[in-house]
Structure 1
């Protein structure tokens, strides 16, 4: 069932291509089970708060603790920033839609949401690749690790990841927003994303679809190939270690990174590296919910629970705060 607002928009769809009117899209969040809307709002809100409460403290702990000022945790803090942005680009609008009867988003607003959401995907890909290279130097070239992963090079890798993501998204977003949209302006999705917007386009869009698919393949394949090469060398080096304790320690430093890589690439591949004809709104909505909400929530849990350094720094920070509470400020005259 559709709400009265959605029915009205179906009867009188906004002609997106009409330059004389302000173009709007209408989100169709839950059409078959409207009673689940309240439950979905509660679940997404809890996941969003959990994600923020997990990612923000990681950045603060790494910033305040000098012992964590090493390349691995520098990359983790930036990955936490990406996850904060990932959820904040989509979830606030999603919650507002679920809470109110207004399910519309302007065409510029949709384009902006699409741009930043697309930009964060390549940024995370490149950060995960940089983290793999850091693990490679630490395990395979421990004597040269400090010189290879110096502060300047780490800053360049992180800056390059962000800039590359923003530039690549500019090209992909321009391909989407210039599509010939027709009368139907209903987005059967939680937010503005590539597959649902492609499904609304009319006319011959095959060339743009090929360009978008090629860009997605390159963004996924090249970083994943570099990660695969790095970890093949890492595993080969670890297996040569004679001490079982040292082998376990080496594997444990990489396991969190590998879990995050598996979560990110499996969901991204299932969503984007497939033909547009296989797009199924109901399945893809919840797949998108997984990689845009659930994965950013799991990442800090994976890193914090498996990292002894972060847990130690957190305990130290809590202990220091409990032993040295803030003194009352003297009263002013």
Structure 2
């Protein structure tokens, strides 16, 4: 028999419910607006019709999907003061969070590879990173995550659950769901760790290798201006990588006993809410081409 769950969310701070609702609503609208602008300008501005901005547009679309899986549900729970969620809805939410998070790992790796080719092999860049290859890399980032994530979700929700059906979290994440399972969950925890190593650590190591080669190549440039320009094209992506992988590491690769429920909730807030809010700001403020495209768009709208 399928049981339903109750998401506690932020019920331990009843006096802050409406403040939190306002804050998360503002964040959600900001993420939607900023990423939609990036998607729009990378489509309409010919200057941004390059592989780097093609990947950035896809990354922005991914961020919109990512926050939409968690924040609207969180807003509804804050508004109704109830956290009731159906078994199937809980499994679906977890599946999408894992799938989109895994896709983000792969897409960040693809973006690092793009920068590697642009800086370390510039003469063959247009040949290597043609539109067909870029489309295939993006499609692979999305599609390859689906089978393992569905398998992982099915494995977790096939477990027998105890009498308690209260999840001390604001969305259906793996650690709080496993805490509700009856019996030994050791095999499931090992499976989660293996999946995290493959999906999180392998792409991270590929990014480290790419940037290792990029830094070596940049250091050989004789022109200080050339080095500065090369670093500036990578700095935004590198900042996003550090933020995303830092929180993912603490959330999924940290031993279970070392992580309190409160700390787990706080870390999850960072990678599901705050980092997607910062990402478009990081990419926009540190990129002259995007700022120029924004000015042109505003000039057209105000003309």
* TM-score where L is the length of structure 1: 0.89
2:60 to 67, 73, 80: 80
Q: Residue in 2 aligned with 1:274?
A: 254
CA RMSD of aligned residues (A): 1.1
The alpha-carbon deviation at position 204 of structure 1 amounts to 1.1
CA deviations 1:208-242 (Å, max 9, x no partner) are 11011111111111101111111111000100101
Secondary structure at the counterpart of residue 135 of structure 1: helix
The alpha-carbon deviation at position 322 of structure 1 amounts to 2.3
Aligned 8 A contact 1:116 1:166 in 2: no
Matches within 5 A, 1:1-333: 19=1, 23-323=3-303
The alpha-carbon deviation at position 168 of structure 1 amounts to 2.4
Instruction: For structure 1, list consecutive stretches of 5 or more residues without a partner in the other structure.
Output: 1-18, 324-333
The alpha-carbon deviation at position 66 of structure 1 amounts to 1.6
CA distance in 2, matches of 1:275, 1:34: 31
CA distance in 2, matches of 1:120, 1:30: 24
Stretch deviating more after TM superposition (78-87 or 33-42): 33-42
Indicate the structure (1 or 2) with the bigger Cα radius of gyration. Answer: 1
CA distance in 2, matches of 1:32, 1:152: 51
* TM-score where L is the length of structure 2: 0.98
Stretch deviating more after TM superposition (220-229 or 260-269): 220-229
Aligned 8 A contact 2:66 2:97 in 1: yes
The alpha-carbon deviation at position 31 of structure 1 amounts to 4.2
Aligned 8 A contact 2:10 2:170 in 1: no
Report runs of 4+ in structure 1 exceeding 4 Å deviation: none
